[in-house]
């Protein structure tokens, strides 16, 4: 049976067919019908929720009150006054006077025919300059920009209308849905009268009282004196002399002493006559023999004290092949030694290209071999000296 038919049947049963269900003759009969409809449709919960919304019914009101109880507190505060004592101190500023002493460096090699420099100076590239910043004038607004500016208010108005519509839909969705048992009652007085037939608890107000303490502070002050020291500075100037030393390059040396390894002994001939063997056993360069390069591009090594004597190796010596001796013009079996000096570290490269070795008796030899058990192998270094032949 449809809800409308059910409603009419109930009206006939109650004896008031001629009356409208919206405007019943007797309020008690109407409330009876309302309650029968709610029972038939089994919508007690839905009807209560809906009528609570329609009548804006609030069955219970809770009221909160706070009572404050005074709590008295005494707060002690100290006020300080400061008394200053002045102390004086002296601060010194030192001004320096610089005195420079110039010294001349020792003998040095200069790059030339027989002197090589191994240190290569790297070209310094100038720092790359950053690209200049390019500044352009601001372009005039285009037609598209002007049109966008004109359309902006319209877009704001449409957005506001959209927000308002969304708010209205939200409110409608929030309203409690009307149950089927109230379909016969229209808006306004009919549905209000029907909802009043429901049994609601008597409205009442509950008051909850909360007691909180409130602090009332009494301030008590006392005064104390603080003693502080102020310092004042007296400035004075002290003068001191600083000594600096600059070294200017020493004289260019064309003579040199030969030494075994970088820190080894220096070379000295056993005698001054041709055929004297060169030995490394002098520890002071002042007592070493002095050598120099001659014969132009060939860089022949000669005995500086007696330039007619050259330095030679004897590769065909039967007992000590490669031993280095002094010799005069054309001794049998001797090969003149030539060389070049690295001005960076003094390393001497001797030609013909052979290994440099020193026997345990300190004799200097030039050899291609490396298995002589009685020899130490190393490098030969030159120390620049002035050509003073003692």
Q: Which residues touch 251 (CB under 8 Å, ≥6 apart)?
A: 104, 107, 108, 386
For residue 351, give both structure tokens: 């030609």
Please state the separation of Cα 374 from the chain's center in Å: 61
Give the Cα separation of 211 and 67 in Å (integer): 5
- What is the pLDDT, as a whole number, of residue 266? 97
Query: Whole-angstrom Cα distance, residue 174 to residue 184?
Result: 23
Rounded to 10 degrees, the C-alpha dihedral 26/28/31/33 comes to -70
pLDDT at position 51 over 70: yes
What tens digit of pLDDT does each residue of 175-208 get?
A: 578 898 888 888 888 888 888 888 777 666 788 8
Cβ-in-10-Å burial (0-12, 13-18, 19+) of 275 comes to middle
Which of 276 and 333 is assigned the larger pLDDT? 276
Of 109 and 128, the one with more pLDDT: 109
Percent of the chain residues past pLDDT 70, beyond the cut: 73
Q: Which of 226, 230, 234 is nearest to 85 (CA)?
A: 230
Task: Give the residue, 344 or 122, on which the prediction is more confident.
Answer: 344
Query: Assign residue 97 a region: left if phi > 0, alpha if psi is -120 to 50, beta otherwise?
Result: beta
- The larger pLDDT score, comparing residue 30 to residue 9, is at 30
The C-alpha atoms of residue 236 and residue 92 are separated, in whole angstroms, by: 5
What structural domains and CATH numbers belong to the chain? 3-59+178-203 (no CATH), 255-385 (2.80.10.50)
Query: Distance (Å, rounded) from C-alpha 292 to C-alpha 270?
Result: 18
More confident residue, 265 or 45: 265
Q: How many CA atoms lie within 13 A of 65 on its CB side?
A: 6
Per the structure block, which two tokens stand in for 160?
A: 């506001």
Is the confidence at residue 279, as pLDDT, over 90?
yes
Rounded CA gap, 367 and 324, in Å?
10
State the residue for tokens 């009307």: 178
- Find the mean pLDDT for residues 15-33: 51
For 53-77, what is each residue's pLDDT tens digit? 888 776 677 888 888 888 888 888 8
**Which tokens belong to 4?**
């409308």
Tokens 């200053």 belong to 84
**Which pLDDT score, from 0 to 100, does residue 389 have?**
58
What does the mean pLDDT of the chain come to? 77
Distances (CA, A) of 370 to 45, 239, 339, 354, 357: 116, 66, 21, 10, 9
pLDDT band for position 343 (cuts 50, 70, 90): very high
Q: How far apart are CA 197 and CA 200, in angstroms?
A: 9
Phi, psi torsion values for 56, nearest 5 degrees: 50, 50
Tally Cβ neighbours within 10 Å of residue 17. 9
Say how far apart CA 183 and CA 7 lie, in whole Å: 10
């Amino acid at each position: 049976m449809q809800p409308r038919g059910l409603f009419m049947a109930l009206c006939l049963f109650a004896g008031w067919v001629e009356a409208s269900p919206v405007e019943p003759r007797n309020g008690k009969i109407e409330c009876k019908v309302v309650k029968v409809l709610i029972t038939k449709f089994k919508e007690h919960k839905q009807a209560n929720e809906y009528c609570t919304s329609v009548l804006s019914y609030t069955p219970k009101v809770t009221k909160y009150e706070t009572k404050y109880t005074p709590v008295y507190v005494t707060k002690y505060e100290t006020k300080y006054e400061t008394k200053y004592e002045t102390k004086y101190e002296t601060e010194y500023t030192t001004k320096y006077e610089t005195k420079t002493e110039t010294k001349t460096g020792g003998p040095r090699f200069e790059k030339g025919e027989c002197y090589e420099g191994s240190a290569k100076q790297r070209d310094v590239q100038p720092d790359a300059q950053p690209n200049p910043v390019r500044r352009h004038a601001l372009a005039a607004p285009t037609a598209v920009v002007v049109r966008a500016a004109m359309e902006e208010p319209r877009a704001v108005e449409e957005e506001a209308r959209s927000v308002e519509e969304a708010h209205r839909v939200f409110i409608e969705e929030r309203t409690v849905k009307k149950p089927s048992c109230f379909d016969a009652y229209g808006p306004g007085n009919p549905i209000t009268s029907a909802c009043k037939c429901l049994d609601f608890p008597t409205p009442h107000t509950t008051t909850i009282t909360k007691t909180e303490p409130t602090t009332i502070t009494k301030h008590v002050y006392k005064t104390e004196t603080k003693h502080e020291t102020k310092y004042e500075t007296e400035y004075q100037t002290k003068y001191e002399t600083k000594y600096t030393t600059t070294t200017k390059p020493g004289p260019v040396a064309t003579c040199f002493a030969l030494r075994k390894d970088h820190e080894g002994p220096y070379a000295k001939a056993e005698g001054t006559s041709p055929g004297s063997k060169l030995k490394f056993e002098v520890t002071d360069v002042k007592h070493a023999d002095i050598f120099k390069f001659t014969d132009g591009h060939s860089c022949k090594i000669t005995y500086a004290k007696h330039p007619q004597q050259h330095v030679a190796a004897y590769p065909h010596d039967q007992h000590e092949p490669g031993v280095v001796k002094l010799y005069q013009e054309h001794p049998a079996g001797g090969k003149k030694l030539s060389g070049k000096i690295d001005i960076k570290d003094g390393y001497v490269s001797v030609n013909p290209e052979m290994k440099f070795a020193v026997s345990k008796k300190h004799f200097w030899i030039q050899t291609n071999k490396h298995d002589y058990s009685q020899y130490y192998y190393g490098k030969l270094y030159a120390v620049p000296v002035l050509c003073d032949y003692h």
